[in-house]
Amino acid sequence: MSTDTPSIHLVDCTLRDGSYATNFQFSARDTRNICHQLEIAGVRMIEVGHGLGLGASSLRYGVAFESDTDYLKAAATALKDATFGAFFIPGIGTADHIREAHQLGMSFIRIGSEVATVEKTQPFIDLAKELGMQVSLNFMKTYAVSAQEFGSVVESVKNWGMDILYVVDSAGCLLPDQVAEYVKVACDRTSDHPDLAVGFHGHNNLDLANANCLAAVKAGATYVDGTLRGMGRSAGNAQTEVLAHLLKQAGYDCPVDPFVLFETAARYIEPLMAIPQGLQSMDVVIGMSQFHSGHLPRFKRVLSQYDVDIRRLIMAVSRIDCVDPSDELIETVAKDLSRIDEYSARDRRPS
């Protein structure tokens, strides 16, 4: 990989933006379990809490299953290396909410504002920075202004001290070239602030959220957001599992393991989804491995003899022959994988 290729930060928002799909009913236990698994997968920034941010749990905005305090404490107890944060909208959350979150160990905050009311965010950016947090300013409904107008807004706020400026496709309405234009404008206007990064948060209403994240990164963004199974409001979000693969495939440094995410989604997310969202793991693996689904029956027959994960088997066989794998090849690889899994299981057993 070229040393000029930037590292891309894949931020997981399942436990925040994904909470819309559960009517904000993630529990503290869900938060601990999912945070732990995301950290194992290699995700290093995890957003938790009510979908509308700190202070939002109410009859007006939707009552969450737990309090802000409980969500933040759950994340703090689950994580060792990854950081956790929350969303914040001025007028919903208050300065005291930020102070309390900081006391509970929260290390980043994402402050959301529509472009027309961005001046309301400055006091909260100042406070969060004084507390030592990483601060993102998320321009909700970025598409409400033209890319040129957006550039002028970026110019007016770039000295406020935040760490990241986010282009946000709240309605999932933007095409990849439009996303690239907004991101490029933001990058150009902040070129004299090398420590000020640009990010992108996309929704999937036109089935373009993943593609839009790639377009954003190619245009200069170094932060992109996703949720497990693309879980979220309306049509959902970009899908963390898919992004983990796409970013690597495109040559970016993003050390997140999609297979750990597949298992996490299957165990903790899919049972909570009233309406299925996103792509199933098998469909993603077929795309990852350039595998033709017509071969699936032959792979399934091998599973009667060897206890292996069919998704890993497909990936391993496809590295050797993704066009027309022989039955002999499939069985040989399955046998080898079963031995590897057996030895790994022995290593994990207590002595």
How far lies 224's CA from each of 4, 29, 46, in Å? Answer: 19, 26, 12
Contact 219, 165 (CB under 8 A): no
What DSSP letter does each residue of 7-71 carry, written as one string?
B-EEEEEEETGGGGGGTS---HHHHHHHHHHHHHHT--EEEES-TT-TT--BTTTB--SS-HHHH
Residue carrying the six token digits 């399942």: 14
pLDDT of 202 reads 97
pLDDT of 281 reads 92
The series of mean pLDDT values per 10 residues for the chain, 351 residues long, is: 74 97 96 98 98 97 98 98 98 98 98 96 98 98 97 97 98 98 98 97 98 98 98 96 96 94 96 91 92 91 89 91 91 88 46 38
Torsion over CA: 64, 70, 72, 78 (sign) = negative
pLDDT of 346 reads 42
In this chain, the answer to whether the domains covering 9-274 and 284-348 adopt an identical fold is no
The angle subtended at Cα 26 by Cα 21 and Cα 27, nearest 5°, is 170
pLDDT of 350 reads 43
Phi, psi (deg, nearest 5) at residue 153: -65, -45
3-state SS, residue 194: coil
pLDDT of 338 reads 87
5-16 tens-digit pLDDT: 779 999 999 999
Q: Which residues on adjacent β-strands are paired with residue 10?
A: 224
Topology of the domain comprising 9-274? TIM Barrel (3.20.20)
Distance CA 313, CA 329 (A): 11
pLDDT of 4 reads 66
214-238 tens-digit pLDDT: 999 999 999 999 999 999 999 999 9
Rg of the chain over all Cα atoms, to the nearest angstrom: 21
The CATH number given to 284-348 is: 1.10.8
Token pair of 154 as six digits: 């970026």
CA end-to-end distance (rounded Å), the chain? 40
Contact 211, 249 (CB under 8 A): no
Contact 84, 47 (CB under 8 A): yes
Contact 211, 224 (CB under 8 A): no
128-185 tens-digit pLDDT: 999 999 999 999 999 999 999 999 999 999 999 999 999 999 999 999 999 999 999 9
Q: Where are the domains of the chain?
A: 9-274, 284-348
Q: Residue 227: name the closest of 19, 9, 8, 6 by CA.
A: 19
How far lies 305's CA from each of 312, 322, 335, in Å? Answer: 16, 22, 9
pLDDT of 341 reads 61
